[in-house]
Copies of this chain bind each other. A is one copy, B any other.
Amino acid sequence: MKTKDRIIAAACELFNEHGERAITTNHIASHLGISPGNLYYYFRNKEQIIRAIFDQYEEYLSAAYGPDNQTEGLMQDYLDKMFQGMWRFRFVYASLSDILARDPELHKRYLKSHHQVMNTAIENLQQMIDHGAMKIDPAMLTPFAEGIKMVVTFWISHLYTQNLDKPITESMVYQGVVQILAMFHGYITPQFKPEFDRIVAHYSDLASDISQPQAE
């Protein structure tokens, strides 16, 4: 891996583990065993590193939430990608208002990419409706999608408010997927119910994974 990419990857890892506010460029350099000067050759400051991570985040969002032509497994595939983004970029979600308030340029990019995420979320929900998997008052479709997006966006912050000194684990993030499934519950059709129940059981298992620290 090139030094530049190693810096981006290490920064993301350290931000995720210790919180973005607690980590300086010196921590990142020291973690990689390079000099601060070497890091400054690639990035002038922490904000530039955050922007580089944001590039990856945007790339991830457009790939994960892009238009999808499959029907079989659509819901599980979507939830897997949702989880992956929440876990991989959890510091972005944990410090979202901070990061956006500090960098108006990033804020603009955030608004744009999340507008696209909402549009494809609604398209995907419409696909589920068209295939008879769910039934919802058309006027409720957008507020429903917004509610789901809110849970996805703030689940990590929610975990931080709920846990005192406990690290955030993958199974805690999966609890967010289960929370999202609970929101679907009232709108699932009888014919999709067995598959839906299987999906709920799948993520409930992951959410209570006994290999995770908090259950030890």
Q: Which positions in A face B, CB cutoff 8 Å?
A: 19, 94-98, 100-101, 104, 107-108, 110-111, 114, 136-137, 140, 143-144, 146-147, 150-151, 153-155, 157-158, 160-162, 164-165, 178-179, 182-183, 185-187
Q: CB-nearest residue of chain B relative to A165?
A: B104
Residue of B nearest to A144 (CB): B182
Copies of this chain present in the complex amount to 2
Q: Would you call A158 and B153 a contact (CB within 8 A)? A: yes
Q: Across the two chains, which residue of chain B brings its CB closest to A136? A: B186
Contact assessment for B111 and A147 in the assembled complex, using a CB-CB cutoff below 8 Å = no
CA distance A148 to B150 in the complex (A): 11
Beyond A94-B97, A143-B183, A147-B151, 12 additional contacts (C-beta under 8 Å) are A96-B161, A100-B161, A101-B160, A110-B161, A111-B164, A140-B186, A143-B178, A144-B183, A147-B179, A153-B158, A153-B161, A154-B158
Q: Which residues of B contact A183 (CB under 8 A)?
A: 143-144, 147, 183
Separation in Å of the A186 CB from the closest CB of chain B? 3
Q: Do the beta carbons of A160 and B104 come within 8 Å of each other?
A: no
Question: Within 8 Å CB of A153, what residues of B?
Answer: 154, 158, 161
| A58: min CB distance to chain B, Å | 15
* Smallest Cβ-Cβ distance to A99: which chain B residue: B161
B-chain residues with CB within 8 Å of residue A96 when the two chains form the complex: 157, 161
